[in-house]
């Protein structure tokens, strides 16, 4: 029992430390990067959602029917969120549901399962690209098992004797929120890197474009002045308007502060300069 309590306490401390780190990182980003407004909007939306009762879908992988019913009962009386439990009894069904049912928020995985154990099922899920957060449930109090599941990126490790309490719902919500913050932070980091690459490329392109564009514009203006009323005026006017549009696009590219894209053709997207 002492070992199991240590495991749970370590899990809780690790979870909250990670959550605090993510929050701190996001707040620092908000104060130091041009993408901070997007983060601020996300944070405000997240707080607004917290005011409503959250709803989560949990995939329970457990071969013991009695224990599965106890988990369902515990989560149905949770005060922190509303939980819908999808119960399967083996690893094969767990993989199938995780891959096909897109609304799964978290997997509660028993270690001892018929056929492949929970560790092997988790490894298979990760190999197949399933990144749903996983929390292990087991009667095993061995620290070695805890270390092995954490190596696979499992978010938490709970001992069965101590999870049939309100702490289960709290742990699930904590893990899901941690995962959401981590995903958002990764998205913002990727967005920031894309924007920096676009801005660097734009500086080079604008220099290469502006010089010949300026020359072309001066030439067209000179031709318009020297041929004000002949047949070429219409085409020279179209050329000048096109040059001005190109100049406007280049200026917008140089002032770009967001990497927002819009559909172009088929699966191709283009930068939104509107």
The confidence score (pLDDT) of residue 111 equals 87
The low-confidence residues of the chain, meaning pLDDT below 70, are: 1-53, 140-142
On whether the CB atoms of residues 91 and 121 are closer than 8 A, the answer is yes
**Which residues, other chains included, contact 4 with Cβ-Cβ below 8 Å and sequence gap of 6+?**
141, 159, 161, 162
Residue 89 dihedral angles phi and psi, to the nearest 5°: -110, 0
The confidence score (pLDDT) of residue 44 equals 55
The confidence score (pLDDT) of residue 41 equals 58
Q: In whole angstroms, what is the distance from residue 110 CA to residue 139 CA?
A: 9
Q: In whole angstroms, what is the distance from residue 197 CA to residue 256 CA?
A: 11
The confidence score (pLDDT) of residue 151 equals 82
Q: In whole angstroms, what is the distance from residue 211 CA to residue 213 CA?
A: 5
Domains in the chain: boundaries = 194-271
**Structure pTM?**
0.57
The region, left, alpha or beta by phi > 0 then psi within -120 to 50, assigned to residue 24 is alpha
The confidence score (pLDDT) of residue 141 equals 66
Bridge-partner residues for 85, per DSSP?
58
Distance from the first to the final alpha carbon of the chain: 62
What digits encode the pLDDT tens for the residues 242-265?
988 888 888 887 777 777 777 877
**Which residues, other chains included, contact 13 with Cβ-Cβ below 8 Å and sequence gap of 6+?**
none
């Amino acid at each position: 029992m002492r070992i199991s309590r240590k495991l749970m306490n370590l899990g809780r401390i690790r979870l909250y430390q990670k959550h605090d780190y993510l929050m701190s990182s996001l707040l620092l980003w908000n104060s130091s990067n041009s993408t901070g407004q997007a983060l601020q909007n996300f944070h405000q939306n997240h707080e607004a959602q917290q005011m409503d009762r959250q709803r989560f879908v949990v995939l329970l992988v457990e071969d013991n029917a009695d224990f599965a019913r106890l988990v369902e009962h515990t989560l149905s009386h949770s005060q922190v969120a509303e939980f819908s439990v999808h119960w399967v009894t083996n690893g094969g069904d767990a993989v199938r549901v995780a891959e096909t049912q897109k609304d799964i928020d978290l997997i509660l995985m028993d270690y001892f399962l018929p056929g492949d154990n929970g560790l092997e099922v988790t490894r298979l899920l990760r190999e197949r690209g399933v990144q749903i957060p996983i929390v292990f449930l087991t009667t095993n109090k061995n620290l070695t098992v805890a270390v092995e599941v954490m190596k696979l990126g499992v978010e938490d490790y709970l001992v069965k004797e101590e999870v049939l309490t309100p702490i289960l719902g709290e742990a699930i919500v904590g893990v899901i929120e941690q995962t959401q913050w981590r995903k958002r932070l990764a998205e913002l980091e990727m967005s920031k890197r894309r924007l920096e690459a676009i801005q660097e490329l734009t500086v080079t392109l604008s220099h290469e474009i502006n010089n010949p564009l300026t020359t072309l514009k001066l030439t067209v203006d000179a031709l318009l002045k020297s041929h004000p009323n002949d047949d070429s005026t219409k085409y020279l006017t179209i050329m000048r308007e096109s040059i001005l549009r190109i100049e406007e696009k280049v200026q917008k590219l140089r002032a770009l502060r967001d990497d927002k894209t819009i559909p172009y053709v088929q699966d191709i997207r283009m930068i939104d300069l509107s």
